[in-house]
Amino acid sequence: NPPKGSIDWSPIVSGSLVKGNVGQNITVPCFYPVKRIQDITSMCWGRDSCPASKCYRTIIWTDGWKVTEQYNSRYMLKGNLPMGDVSLTIVNAEEADSGIYCCRVEISGWFNDRTSNHKVV
């Protein structure tokens, strides 16, 4: 641990560790702030760490209001999307579902996207 009073300059990567069991449903948390209707925005979930833009090995796309693309019926968003709850639910988890997931919320402007990496074990 760094001595008291010193500053830890390590980069902050938003994310979480989610533990689950094979055969269960696993929810990977992801939220973004929605204060007014203009804040509602598109987002994607993908496998592996978040790339520079979009999602790699995309699982789900939303337009902010509803899921627009879904690549596997076991991956779903059950939260209230327009309220900013874009948590991913993995239904009937399999061993192969373990790994890193990227949640990317597309905020307009350069490099404004909110990204978080989540490890599922």
Task: Assess if residue 32 is contained within a domain.
Answer: yes
Mean pLDDT by 10 residues, the chain (121 residues): 47 74 96 94 96 94 96 95 97 96 91 91 94
Q: What is the pTM of this model?
A: 0.85
- Count other Cβ atoms within 10 Å, centred on residue 114: 17
- Give the total number of structural domains in the chain: 1
Give the residue from 84, 71, 75 showing the smallest Cα distance to 27: 75
Question: Residues 100, 49: contact at Cβ < 8 Å?
Answer: yes
pLDDT digits (tens, 9 = 90+) for 62-78: 999 999 999 999 999 99
- Residue 115, amino acid: T
Residue 9 lies in a domain: no
Assess if residue 10 is contained within a domain: no
Tokens of 19: 């533990």
Note whether residue 100 is domain-resident.
yes
Return the CATH number at 46: 2.60.40.10
